[in-house]
Chains A and B, each alone.
Chain A
Amino acid sequence: MAKIVSMQEAVAQIKDGMTIMVPGFLSAGAANEILHAIKEAGIKDLTVICNDGGDPKREHSLAELIHSGQVAHLWATHIGLNPEVGQKMNDGSMKVTLVPQGSMAEKIRAGGYGLGGVLTPTGIGTPVGDGAEDVGGTKKQIINIDGKDFLLERPLHADVALIYGSVADKYGNVKIHGDARNFNIVMAFAADTVICQADEIIDMMDPDEVLIPGALVKYIVDGGNK
Protein backbone atom coordinates (compact mmCIF):
# COMPACT_ATOMS: atom_id res chain seq x y z
CA MET A 1 0.00 0.00 0.00
CA ALA A 2 1.20 3.51 -0.75
CA LYS A 3 2.35 5.64 2.15
CA ILE A 4 0.91 9.09 2.75
CA VAL A 5 3.86 11.24 3.73
CA SER A 6 4.71 14.84 4.53
CA MET A 7 6.38 17.03 1.93
CA GLN A 8 9.65 16.73 3.89
CA GLU A 9 9.53 12.92 3.84
CA ALA A 10 8.77 12.95 0.12
CA VAL A 11 11.65 15.26 -0.72
CA ALA A 12 14.02 13.14 1.41
CA GLN A 13 13.73 10.49 -1.33
CA ILE A 14 15.49 12.77 -3.80
CA LYS A 15 19.28 13.08 -3.70
CA ASP A 16 21.87 15.16 -5.53
CA GLY A 17 22.64 13.79 -8.98
CA MET A 18 19.41 11.84 -9.43
CA THR A 19 17.35 11.62 -12.62
CA ILE A 20 13.75 12.72 -12.08
CA MET A 21 10.73 12.62 -14.34
CA VAL A 22 8.48 15.66 -14.29
CA PRO A 23 5.17 15.37 -16.15
CA GLY A 24 3.12 18.37 -17.18
CA PHE A 25 2.63 20.92 -19.92
CA LEU A 26 3.99 24.03 -18.18
CA SER A 27 2.12 23.74 -14.89
CA ALA A 28 -0.84 21.56 -15.96
CA GLY A 29 -0.29 18.06 -14.62
CA ALA A 30 2.96 18.85 -12.80
CA ALA A 31 3.68 18.20 -9.11
CA ASN A 32 4.55 21.87 -8.62
CA GLU A 33 4.59 21.81 -4.79
CA ILE A 34 7.12 18.95 -4.68
CA LEU A 35 9.26 20.79 -7.23
CA HIS A 36 9.15 23.86 -5.00
CA ALA A 37 10.18 21.78 -1.96
CA ILE A 38 13.14 20.35 -3.96
CA LYS A 39 14.18 23.89 -4.77
CA GLU A 40 13.96 24.89 -1.10
CA ALA A 41 15.96 21.79 -0.08
CA GLY A 42 18.75 22.80 -2.47
CA ILE A 43 19.02 19.36 -4.13
CA LYS A 44 21.32 19.80 -7.10
CA ASP A 45 22.93 18.27 -10.20
CA LEU A 46 19.58 16.87 -11.22
CA THR A 47 18.79 15.37 -14.60
CA VAL A 48 15.19 16.25 -15.40
CA ILE A 49 13.01 14.61 -18.05
CA CYS A 50 10.08 16.91 -18.85
CA ASN A 51 8.05 18.06 -21.83
CA ASP A 52 9.17 21.67 -21.31
CA GLY A 53 11.09 23.95 -18.96
CA GLY A 54 8.24 24.62 -16.55
CA ASP A 55 6.13 27.75 -16.27
CA PRO A 56 8.29 30.83 -15.60
CA LYS A 57 5.15 32.86 -14.79
CA ARG A 58 4.40 30.62 -11.83
CA GLU A 59 6.19 30.81 -8.50
CA HIS A 60 6.16 27.05 -7.86
CA SER A 61 7.28 25.20 -10.97
CA LEU A 62 10.17 23.40 -12.63
CA ALA A 63 11.17 26.85 -13.91
CA GLU A 64 12.37 27.91 -10.43
CA LEU A 65 14.63 24.82 -10.18
CA ILE A 66 16.13 25.68 -13.56
CA HIS A 67 16.48 29.33 -12.54
CA SER A 68 18.33 28.38 -9.33
CA GLY A 69 20.79 26.22 -11.29
CA GLN A 70 19.81 22.92 -9.64
CA VAL A 71 19.17 21.21 -12.98
CA ALA A 72 22.34 20.03 -14.74
CA HIS A 73 20.67 18.30 -17.70
CA LEU A 74 17.18 18.74 -19.13
CA TRP A 75 15.51 16.38 -21.59
CA ALA A 76 12.66 18.30 -23.23
CA THR A 77 10.56 18.65 -26.37
CA HIS A 78 9.74 22.37 -26.28
CA ILE A 79 11.61 25.10 -24.39
CA GLY A 80 10.32 28.22 -26.16
CA LEU A 81 7.96 29.22 -23.34
CA ASN A 82 10.77 29.39 -20.76
CA PRO A 83 13.45 31.55 -22.44
CA GLU A 84 15.88 30.92 -19.56
CA VAL A 85 16.30 27.32 -20.76
CA GLY A 86 17.60 28.52 -24.13
CA GLN A 87 19.92 31.03 -22.44
CA LYS A 88 21.39 28.35 -20.14
CA MET A 89 21.69 25.98 -23.09
CA ASN A 90 23.60 28.60 -25.10
CA ASP A 91 25.92 29.69 -22.26
CA GLY A 92 26.62 26.05 -21.39
CA SER A 93 25.40 26.22 -17.78
CA MET A 94 22.75 23.53 -18.40
CA LYS A 95 22.80 20.67 -20.88
CA VAL A 96 19.62 20.38 -22.93
CA THR A 97 18.67 17.37 -25.05
CA LEU A 98 15.73 17.97 -27.38
CA VAL A 99 13.52 15.05 -28.33
CA PRO A 100 10.36 15.07 -30.49
CA GLN A 101 7.32 14.93 -28.21
CA GLY A 102 5.99 11.63 -29.50
CA SER A 103 9.44 10.06 -29.29
CA MET A 104 9.76 11.35 -25.73
CA ALA A 105 6.50 9.64 -24.76
CA GLU A 106 7.65 6.39 -26.38
CA LYS A 107 11.17 6.50 -24.85
CA ILE A 108 9.58 6.83 -21.42
CA ARG A 109 6.99 4.16 -22.19
CA ALA A 110 9.78 1.82 -23.35
CA GLY A 111 11.64 2.54 -20.10
CA GLY A 112 8.59 1.65 -18.07
CA TYR A 113 7.36 -1.28 -20.14
CA GLY A 114 10.59 -3.28 -20.22
CA LEU A 115 11.40 -2.61 -23.88
CA GLY A 116 14.90 -2.17 -25.29
CA GLY A 117 13.84 0.91 -27.25
CA VAL A 118 11.39 1.90 -29.93
CA LEU A 119 11.68 2.29 -33.71
CA THR A 120 10.07 5.45 -35.05
CA PRO A 121 10.06 7.23 -38.42
CA THR A 122 10.05 10.57 -36.56
CA GLY A 123 13.29 12.57 -36.69
CA ILE A 124 14.93 10.90 -39.69
CA GLY A 125 16.84 13.44 -41.81
CA THR A 126 16.75 16.07 -39.02
CA PRO A 127 19.29 17.31 -36.46
CA VAL A 128 17.83 14.84 -33.91
CA GLY A 129 18.09 11.88 -36.31
CA ASP A 130 20.90 9.52 -37.28
CA GLY A 131 24.03 10.18 -35.17
CA ALA A 132 22.36 12.53 -32.66
CA GLU A 133 23.20 11.96 -29.02
CA ASP A 134 20.91 9.64 -27.11
CA VAL A 135 20.68 8.09 -23.63
CA GLY A 136 24.03 7.50 -21.91
CA GLY A 137 26.03 9.25 -24.64
CA THR A 138 25.06 6.68 -27.29
CA LYS A 139 24.33 7.77 -30.86
CA LYS A 140 20.98 7.34 -32.55
CA GLN A 141 21.03 4.94 -35.47
CA ILE A 142 18.79 4.01 -38.38
CA ILE A 143 17.43 0.48 -38.53
CA ASN A 144 15.76 -0.73 -41.71
CA ILE A 145 12.76 -2.99 -41.21
CA ASP A 146 11.32 -4.58 -44.35
CA GLY A 147 12.54 -1.75 -46.56
CA LYS A 148 11.50 1.16 -44.36
CA ASP A 149 13.90 3.22 -42.26
CA PHE A 150 13.28 3.80 -38.58
CA LEU A 151 15.23 5.63 -35.92
CA LEU A 152 16.15 3.68 -32.79
CA GLU A 153 15.14 5.64 -29.70
CA ARG A 154 16.53 4.16 -26.49
CA PRO A 155 14.44 3.92 -23.33
CA LEU A 156 14.42 6.61 -20.67
CA HIS A 157 14.32 5.64 -17.02
CA ALA A 158 14.51 7.69 -13.83
CA ASP A 159 15.26 7.30 -10.15
CA VAL A 160 12.10 9.16 -9.18
CA ALA A 161 8.92 10.25 -10.99
CA LEU A 162 7.00 13.14 -9.45
CA ILE A 163 3.47 12.61 -10.68
CA TYR A 164 0.30 14.64 -10.19
CA GLY A 165 -3.12 13.36 -9.19
CA SER A 166 -6.44 15.16 -9.01
CA VAL A 167 -7.41 12.40 -6.58
CA ALA A 168 -5.32 9.65 -4.97
CA ASP A 169 -6.60 6.98 -2.62
CA LYS A 170 -4.86 5.27 0.29
CA TYR A 171 -3.94 2.37 -2.01
CA GLY A 172 -1.99 4.72 -4.26
CA ASN A 173 -4.52 4.65 -7.08
CA VAL A 174 -4.57 7.90 -9.01
CA LYS A 175 -7.04 9.62 -11.27
CA ILE A 176 -6.41 12.82 -13.15
CA HIS A 177 -8.97 15.24 -14.49
CA GLY A 178 -8.58 16.82 -17.93
CA ASP A 179 -5.59 16.74 -20.25
CA ALA A 180 -3.34 17.29 -17.22
CA ARG A 181 -2.76 13.54 -17.42
CA ASN A 182 -0.30 14.10 -20.33
CA PHE A 183 3.01 12.40 -19.38
CA ASN A 184 1.85 11.23 -15.93
CA ILE A 185 0.84 7.72 -16.93
CA VAL A 186 4.00 6.72 -18.82
CA MET A 187 6.25 8.35 -16.22
CA ALA A 188 4.59 6.40 -13.39
CA PHE A 189 5.92 3.22 -15.03
CA ALA A 190 9.42 4.45 -15.76
CA ALA A 191 10.92 5.33 -12.37
CA ASP A 192 12.22 3.31 -9.42
CA THR A 193 10.22 5.43 -6.98
CA VAL A 194 6.95 7.17 -7.78
CA ILE A 195 5.76 10.06 -5.63
CA CYS A 196 2.31 11.51 -6.26
CA GLN A 197 1.24 15.00 -5.32
CA ALA A 198 -2.55 14.82 -5.04
CA ASP A 199 -5.10 17.62 -4.83
CA GLU A 200 -7.31 15.32 -2.78
CA ILE A 201 -6.71 12.06 -0.88
CA ILE A 202 -9.64 9.68 -0.31
CA ASP A 203 -10.04 6.20 1.23
CA MET A 204 -10.74 4.25 -1.94
CA MET A 205 -11.75 5.13 -5.49
CA ASP A 206 -13.94 3.27 -7.96
CA PRO A 207 -11.58 0.78 -9.71
CA ASP A 208 -13.16 1.72 -13.04
CA GLU A 209 -11.88 5.27 -12.63
CA VAL A 210 -8.24 4.47 -11.82
CA LEU A 211 -5.83 5.92 -14.36
CA ILE A 212 -2.58 4.89 -12.63
CA PRO A 213 -2.71 1.69 -10.55
CA GLY A 214 -1.69 2.05 -6.92
CA ALA A 215 0.84 -0.76 -7.24
CA LEU A 216 3.12 1.72 -9.02
CA VAL A 217 2.85 4.53 -6.47
CA LYS A 218 5.03 4.47 -3.35
CA TYR A 219 4.39 7.83 -1.70
CA ILE A 220 1.48 10.26 -1.71
CA VAL A 221 1.77 13.90 -0.67
CA ASP A 222 -1.15 16.23 -0.05
CA GLY A 223 -0.70 19.02 -2.61
CA GLY A 224 -3.16 21.21 -0.79
CA ASN A 225 -5.07 22.29 -3.90
CA LYS A 226 -8.51 21.08 -2.84
Chain B
Amino acid sequence: MDKALIKGYIAKRVAKEFKDGDFVNLGIGLPTMVPAYLPADVHVILEAEVGMAGQGGKPEVVDPNVVDAGGQPSSIAPGGAFIDSATSFGLIRGGHVDATVLGALQVDEKGNLANWIIPGKMVPGMGGAMDLVVGAKNVIVAMEHTQKGAHKILKECTLPLTAQTCVTKIITEMAVINVTDKGLELVEINPEFTVEQVQEATGAPLIVSPDLKNIEE
Protein backbone atom coordinates (compact mmCIF):
# COMPACT_ATOMS: atom_id res chain seq x y z
CA MET B 1 0.00 0.00 0.00
CA ASP B 2 1.19 3.53 -0.85
CA LYS B 3 3.06 4.83 2.20
CA ALA B 4 1.51 8.29 1.93
CA LEU B 5 -2.02 6.88 2.12
CA ILE B 6 -1.53 4.48 5.04
CA LYS B 7 -2.22 6.87 7.91
CA GLY B 8 -5.39 8.25 6.33
CA TYR B 9 -6.60 4.71 5.56
CA ILE B 10 -6.14 3.65 9.19
CA ALA B 11 -7.69 6.85 10.58
CA LYS B 12 -10.71 6.42 8.28
CA ARG B 13 -11.29 2.88 9.56
CA VAL B 14 -10.87 3.96 13.20
CA ALA B 15 -13.54 6.63 12.65
CA LYS B 16 -16.11 3.84 12.03
CA GLU B 17 -15.67 2.69 15.62
CA PHE B 18 -17.39 5.76 17.04
CA LYS B 19 -21.03 6.55 17.47
CA ASP B 20 -22.60 9.93 18.03
CA GLY B 21 -21.93 11.26 21.52
CA ASP B 22 -18.97 9.00 22.34
CA PHE B 23 -16.43 10.46 24.76
CA VAL B 24 -12.97 9.68 23.38
CA ASN B 25 -9.33 10.50 24.01
CA LEU B 26 -6.99 10.57 21.03
CA GLY B 27 -3.24 10.06 21.35
CA ILE B 28 -0.69 12.11 19.45
CA GLY B 29 0.04 11.60 15.75
CA LEU B 30 -2.23 9.40 13.61
CA PRO B 31 -5.13 9.29 16.13
CA THR B 32 -5.60 13.07 15.85
CA MET B 33 -6.52 12.52 12.16
CA VAL B 34 -9.60 10.45 13.08
CA PRO B 35 -12.17 13.28 13.62
CA ALA B 36 -11.67 14.44 10.00
CA TYR B 37 -13.13 11.09 8.83
CA LEU B 38 -16.24 11.04 11.03
CA PRO B 39 -19.56 11.02 9.15
CA ALA B 40 -21.47 14.32 9.34
CA ASP B 41 -24.01 12.89 11.78
CA VAL B 42 -21.42 11.58 14.25
CA HIS B 43 -20.04 14.03 16.78
CA VAL B 44 -17.68 12.84 19.46
CA ILE B 45 -16.66 14.66 22.63
CA LEU B 46 -12.89 14.80 22.89
CA GLU B 47 -11.29 14.29 26.28
CA ALA B 48 -7.94 16.09 26.54
CA GLU B 49 -6.05 14.92 29.62
CA VAL B 50 -4.52 18.37 30.01
CA GLY B 51 -7.95 19.54 31.15
CA MET B 52 -10.80 19.61 28.65
CA ALA B 53 -13.96 17.55 28.39
CA GLY B 54 -14.80 18.77 24.90
CA GLN B 55 -11.65 19.86 23.13
CA GLY B 56 -11.96 21.98 19.98
CA GLY B 57 -9.69 22.34 16.98
CA LYS B 58 -6.80 24.66 16.21
CA PRO B 59 -7.78 28.14 17.41
CA GLU B 60 -8.02 31.22 15.19
CA VAL B 61 -6.84 33.37 18.08
CA VAL B 62 -4.17 31.92 20.39
CA ASP B 63 -5.02 31.91 24.09
CA PRO B 64 -1.95 31.00 26.20
CA ASN B 65 -4.24 29.47 28.84
CA VAL B 66 -5.84 26.99 26.44
CA VAL B 67 -3.38 24.36 25.28
CA ASP B 68 -3.23 20.71 24.28
CA ALA B 69 -1.17 18.06 26.09
CA GLY B 70 1.91 19.13 24.13
CA GLY B 71 1.51 22.74 25.28
CA GLN B 72 0.40 23.81 21.78
CA PRO B 73 -2.48 26.27 21.24
CA SER B 74 -5.88 24.60 21.38
CA SER B 75 -9.52 25.54 21.91
CA ILE B 76 -12.60 24.39 23.75
CA ALA B 77 -15.48 22.95 21.69
CA PRO B 78 -19.03 24.32 22.03
CA GLY B 79 -20.47 22.67 25.13
CA GLY B 80 -17.05 21.76 26.48
CA ALA B 81 -15.76 22.16 30.02
CA PHE B 82 -12.39 23.01 31.51
CA ILE B 83 -11.39 20.55 34.23
CA ASP B 84 -8.40 20.18 36.53
CA SER B 85 -5.92 17.28 36.42
CA ALA B 86 -7.54 15.22 39.20
CA THR B 87 -10.95 15.55 37.53
CA SER B 88 -9.50 14.77 34.11
CA PHE B 89 -7.96 11.53 35.34
CA GLY B 90 -11.07 10.76 37.35
CA LEU B 91 -12.89 10.73 34.01
CA ILE B 92 -10.13 8.62 32.45
CA ARG B 93 -9.41 6.11 35.21
CA GLY B 94 -13.01 5.97 36.37
CA GLY B 95 -14.21 4.33 33.15
CA HIS B 96 -16.12 7.35 31.86
CA VAL B 97 -14.19 7.53 28.59
CA ASP B 98 -15.65 5.28 25.86
CA ALA B 99 -12.47 4.82 23.89
CA THR B 100 -8.89 5.85 23.54
CA VAL B 101 -6.93 5.56 20.30
CA LEU B 102 -3.16 5.42 20.40
CA GLY B 103 -0.09 4.11 18.65
CA ALA B 104 2.11 1.24 19.82
CA LEU B 105 5.66 0.01 19.63
CA GLN B 106 4.41 -3.52 20.38
CA VAL B 107 1.12 -5.16 21.23
CA ASP B 108 0.65 -8.84 22.00
CA GLU B 109 -2.03 -11.53 21.83
CA LYS B 110 -3.03 -10.96 25.45
CA GLY B 111 -3.61 -7.27 24.76
CA ASN B 112 -0.47 -6.18 26.57
CA LEU B 113 0.74 -2.83 25.26
CA ALA B 114 4.23 -1.33 25.01
CA ASN B 115 4.32 2.23 23.71
CA TRP B 116 6.36 4.43 26.02
CA ILE B 117 9.95 3.31 26.39
CA ILE B 118 12.79 1.71 24.43
CA PRO B 119 15.54 0.77 26.90
CA GLY B 120 18.80 2.54 26.12
CA LYS B 121 17.09 5.34 24.21
CA MET B 122 15.83 8.69 25.46
CA VAL B 123 12.87 8.28 27.81
CA PRO B 124 10.04 10.72 27.09
CA GLY B 125 7.93 9.58 30.05
CA MET B 126 4.51 7.98 30.05
CA GLY B 127 2.45 11.14 30.51
CA GLY B 128 -1.20 10.11 30.73
CA ALA B 129 -0.91 6.96 28.60
CA MET B 130 -0.82 4.41 31.44
CA ASP B 131 -3.98 5.80 33.04
CA LEU B 132 -5.76 6.05 29.69
CA VAL B 133 -5.25 2.45 28.65
CA VAL B 134 -6.17 1.15 32.10
CA GLY B 135 -9.31 3.28 32.35
CA ALA B 136 -10.88 3.64 28.90
CA LYS B 137 -13.65 1.14 28.04
CA ASN B 138 -12.12 0.42 24.64
CA VAL B 139 -8.43 0.71 23.85
CA ILE B 140 -7.83 0.89 20.11
CA VAL B 141 -4.28 0.61 18.83
CA ALA B 142 -3.99 2.38 15.47
CA MET B 143 -0.64 1.81 13.79
CA GLU B 144 1.24 0.48 10.80
CA HIS B 145 1.13 -3.31 10.88
CA THR B 146 4.93 -3.73 11.01
CA GLN B 147 7.98 -1.57 11.67
CA LYS B 148 9.61 -1.75 8.21
CA GLY B 149 8.75 -5.45 8.09
CA ALA B 150 9.61 -6.24 11.74
CA HIS B 151 6.69 -7.63 13.74
CA LYS B 152 4.93 -5.24 16.13
CA ILE B 153 2.04 -7.59 16.87
CA LEU B 154 3.57 -10.41 18.91
CA LYS B 155 2.86 -13.45 21.07
CA GLU B 156 4.44 -11.55 23.93
CA CYS B 157 5.75 -8.00 24.18
CA THR B 158 9.52 -7.76 24.73
CA LEU B 159 9.61 -4.04 25.58
CA PRO B 160 8.58 -2.69 29.01
CA LEU B 161 4.80 -2.44 29.18
CA THR B 162 2.50 0.57 29.36
CA ALA B 163 -0.20 -1.69 30.82
CA GLN B 164 -1.24 -5.34 30.89
CA THR B 165 -4.19 -6.85 28.99
CA CYS B 166 -5.67 -3.51 28.04
CA VAL B 167 -5.90 -3.45 24.22
CA THR B 168 -9.31 -4.36 22.79
CA LYS B 169 -8.74 -3.78 19.06
CA ILE B 170 -5.85 -3.30 16.61
CA ILE B 171 -6.41 -1.35 13.39
CA THR B 172 -3.67 -1.30 10.75
CA GLU B 173 -3.37 -0.74 6.98
CA MET B 174 -3.68 -4.53 6.56
CA ALA B 175 -6.35 -5.60 9.02
CA VAL B 176 -8.71 -5.11 11.91
CA ILE B 177 -7.94 -7.51 14.76
CA ASN B 178 -9.93 -8.02 17.94
CA VAL B 179 -8.12 -9.06 21.11
CA THR B 180 -10.15 -11.92 22.59
CA ASP B 181 -9.72 -14.42 25.44
CA LYS B 182 -8.72 -17.02 22.83
CA GLY B 183 -6.17 -14.77 21.11
CA LEU B 184 -6.10 -12.40 18.15
CA GLU B 185 -9.15 -12.63 15.89
CA LEU B 186 -8.82 -11.33 12.33
CA VAL B 187 -12.21 -9.72 11.66
CA GLU B 188 -11.53 -7.44 8.68
CA ILE B 189 -8.90 -7.43 5.98
CA ASN B 190 -7.69 -4.89 3.43
CA PRO B 191 -8.57 -6.60 0.10
CA GLU B 192 -5.13 -5.65 -1.24
CA PHE B 193 -3.73 -8.39 1.02
CA THR B 194 -4.35 -12.11 1.54
CA VAL B 195 -4.92 -13.74 4.94
CA GLU B 196 -1.54 -15.44 4.49
CA GLN B 197 0.18 -12.08 3.99
CA VAL B 198 -1.45 -10.63 7.11
CA GLN B 199 -0.44 -13.72 9.11
CA GLU B 200 3.12 -13.43 7.81
CA ALA B 201 3.28 -9.81 8.97
CA THR B 202 1.97 -10.79 12.41
CA GLY B 203 4.13 -12.38 15.14
CA ALA B 204 1.27 -14.28 16.77
CA PRO B 205 -1.24 -16.79 15.39
CA LEU B 206 -4.40 -15.20 13.99
CA ILE B 207 -7.82 -16.77 14.43
CA VAL B 208 -9.62 -16.03 11.17
CA SER B 209 -13.18 -14.99 11.93
CA PRO B 210 -15.86 -17.04 10.11
CA ASP B 211 -17.41 -13.64 9.29
CA LEU B 212 -14.18 -12.13 7.90
CA LYS B 213 -15.04 -8.99 5.93
CA ASN B 214 -13.15 -6.58 3.73
CA ILE B 215 -12.28 -3.20 5.22
CA GLU B 216 -14.70 -0.88 3.46
CA GLU B 217 -13.31 2.34 2.09
Contacts and interface: CB of A to CB of B under 8 A. Distances in A.
Interface residues of B, number: 43
Contacts of B189: none
Contact of B65 (A81, A178, A185): A178
> Which of B67, B76, B135 has the most chain A CB atoms closer than 10 A to its own CB?
B67
A166 B65 CA distance: 9
Given A25-B67, A28-B65, A98-B123, A179 B131 contact: no
Interface string A174-188: 001111111111100
Interface string A110-140: 0000000000111111111000000000000
Contacts of B93: 102, 120-122
A25 B89 contact: no
Interface stretch (B30-38, B157-165, B196-204, B207-215): B157-165
A51 B85 CA distance: 10
Interface residues of A, number: 48
A17 interface: no
Interface string A30-69: 0000000000000000000001100100000000000000
Contacts of B48: 179
A77 B69 CA distance: 12
Interface string B81-99: 0111110110011000000
A76 interface: yes
B84 to A, nearest CB: 5
Name the residue among B74, B127, B134 with the largest chain A CB count within 10 angstroms: B127
A156 interface: no
B130 interface: yes
Contacts of A183: 84-85
Contacts of A81: 70-71
A84 B121 CA distance: 14
Contacts of B161: 125-126
Given A26-B71, A101-B127, A124-B164, 10 more contacts: A26-B70, A28-B64, A100-B126, A100-B128, A102-B128, A103-B131, A176-B65, A178-B66, A179-B52, A185-B86
